[in-house]
Amino acid sequence: MAEVKVSIERAIAIMTVSRPEKLNAFDLDMLKSLASACDEVEANAVVRVAILTGEGKAFSAGGDIKAWGGMRAEEFGHAWVRFGHRVFERLATMRMPVIAAINGHALGGGLELAAAADIRIAEAQVKIGLPETSLGMVPGWSGTQRLVRRFGAQIVRRMALGGEMFSAEEALRHGLIDSVVETGTVLSAARDYAARIAQRGPAAVEICKLMIASANGEDNGMAVEALGGILAAKTGDLREGVAAFGEKRSAQFKGEW
């Protein structure tokens, strides 16, 4: 069954896109499974880092053409593009850092999936690209938005307009990925990097992720309100306000941090 599998190794969660017979291409059920996996991982208070990888020889071939090719235009726009966009945004805004362990080709939506992670490690044989325009289609899961913010407009133009496909080493030079490792070793390398992150202060890491996203223009409103909410939740004033509400009395705020 197509799904995103979740396993927990102490402070590290591993999310595996599992549809190997279709090169881990996404259909609607896979999108729903990815959203559920994000919820499951984020709800686990022990988890400090998540690793995202693919089962078999591909990371992800993107969206399954058979899943969307026959959709009506309005259905395609709402049930496919907008829903997929929300799911990938869910992945990008998880509280903990996400490492993409790119074990095989990441094309179209597969590259958009990898771009939603904070760190990308790829095996040497990997190819990366945005082939959508060769089908008369455009990237729909933030390929022209998040990828431009994170990697720059020109490299996205070369992939989306010119159809250029990059090897892992070329992608490394262009800043599309952060490191290249030997074939068959990416999950081990991702675990090592995840362990490095997990040793650091989890609150500081989460706050840094929010601040970096805000500086990069990624959902500033959510980042600012999340930071503000965390700060307010730590104050004595909040404890007093909640207590006063429960006791049906006027709150006596003291400006305590």
What are the tens digits of pLDDT across the range 145-160?
A: 999 999 999 999 999 9
Q: Which of 55, 123, 132, 206 is catalytic?
A: 132
Residue 168 to residue 174: CA distance in whole angstroms:
10
Q: What is the pTM of this model?
A: 0.90
HEC letters along 199-237: CCCHHHHHHHHHHHHHHCCCCHHHHHHHHHHHHHHCCHH
Under a CB-based contact definition with an 8 Å cutoff, are residues 94 and 136 in contact?
no
- Our CA angle for 3, 180, 146, nearest 5°, is 60
Catalytic (active site) residue 132: yes
What are the tens digits of pLDDT across the range 87-143?
A: 999 999 999 999 999 999 999 999 999 999 999 999 999 999 999 999 888 898 899
Averaged pLDDT for residues 237-252: 85
Which percentage of the chain shows pLDDT scores above 90? 67
Residue 38 to residue 50: CA distance in whole angstroms:
9
Under a CB-based contact definition with an 8 Å cutoff, are residues 210 and 153 in contact?
no
Res 105: pLDDT: 96
Residue 243 to residue 249: CA distance in whole angstroms:
9
DSSP β-bridge partners for residue 105: 58
Catalytic (active site) residue 112: yes
- Confidence tier at 251 by pLDDT (50, 70, 90): confident
What are the tens digits of pLDDT across the range 174-184?
A: 999 999 999 99
**Which has the closest alpha carbon to 17: 50, 44, 56, 65?**
56
Per CATH, which fold does 3-198 belong to? 2-enoyl-CoA Hydratase; Chain A, domain 1 (3.90.226)
Q: Which of 21, 55, 75, 112 is catalytic?
A: 112
Q: Which residues contact 225 (CB under 8 A, 6 or more apart)?
A: none
Domain-by-domain residue ranges, the chain? 3-198, 202-247
Residue 105 to residue 184: CA distance in whole angstroms:
13
- Confidence tier at 1 by pLDDT (50, 70, 90): low
Residue 30 has φ and ψ, to the nearest 5°, of -65, -40
Tokens of 204: 């500081």
